[in-house]
Amino acid sequence: MYNEIASNKRKTFALMVIFVLVVLGFGLAFGAYYGDYFGGLIIAAIVSVAMTSISYFKSDKIALSASGAKEIEKKDNPMLWNTVENLAITAGLPMPRVAIMNDPALNAFATGRDHDHAVVAVTTGLLEKLTQVELEGVIAHELSHVKNYDIRLMTVVVVLIGTIALLADMMRFGFYGGRGDRKGGNAMMVIALVLIIVSPIIGQLIKLAVSRQREYLADASGALLTRYPEGLASALEKISGDTHQFRKANHATAHMFISSPFKGKAFKNAFATHPPAAKRIERLRNMI
């Protein structure tokens, strides 16, 4: 299990390095296109810092609002509260806030910028359909995202991808705006044009790949936390077999959930926010 966790961390690091190289390449091409190699990078840095700061400090509120999750107190659902509290103690984490989404779909997510500002949210459907050990498996999975700082990582990745899309739009405007003061050579203009088209796609693929790797890592860490991999494996079987469409499914937050909130979508594997449930279940049962 420890080897699997280390492997997933190495893969995630490699993906992040690729992402950074794409961002740097895009910024240099942007600057070359306008005859100022560093100007584009400076603008990109300013926009990135601003967007990252907003997302960093408001990510939990944004996610809860987008999913329709309502925070609860212990008296509202003692069973859920105690489950989260006990597993948080086991994981060595502060007690996170707890929220419930009034939705029949089976799903859950965690968000927040760090251990002290985390939130774990589950749907009413999940509470109704899962057994106690299955629920513990799901909560342990989400707390693993908190403990491993996945929630912070994915917030940063999403913001950086949004920045790439913004810069691509800015450069498109430059191409079609009829500016006559471009100093970049023809070769750099071609490279810039290619980056306009390819960078948002690469960024999205990297976000999805990081998300998939982090799901495997959280599965392994969650199983270690409960010492019962079958609980999460059984929960994933029920979740993957659920036919309810999450009513507030959103592509911007889909990667945060334990399972994709979209149902009946024939996405190809490269564009899936989560690894196939069958592979996740197989890996968990191989740990037993």
HSE, side-chain direction, 13 A CA sphere, residue 71: 11
Give dist(CA 197, CA 192) in Å, integer: 9
Name the residues annotated as catalytic: 142
DSSP assignment letter at 68: T
Q: If you search the block for the tokens 């911007």, which residue do you land on?
A: 252
8 A C-beta contact, residue 232 and residue 223? yes
Which residue, among 134, 10, 33, has the nearest Cα to 83 in the 3D structure? 134
End-to-end CA separation in angstroms for the chain: 10
141-169 burial by CB neighbour count: b if 16+ within 10 A, else e? bbbbbbbbebbbbbbbbbbbbbbbeebbe
Question: Cα(272)–Cα(266) distance, rounded to whole angstroms?
Answer: 9
> Measured between alpha carbons, how far is 135 from 234 in angstroms, rounded to an integer?
10
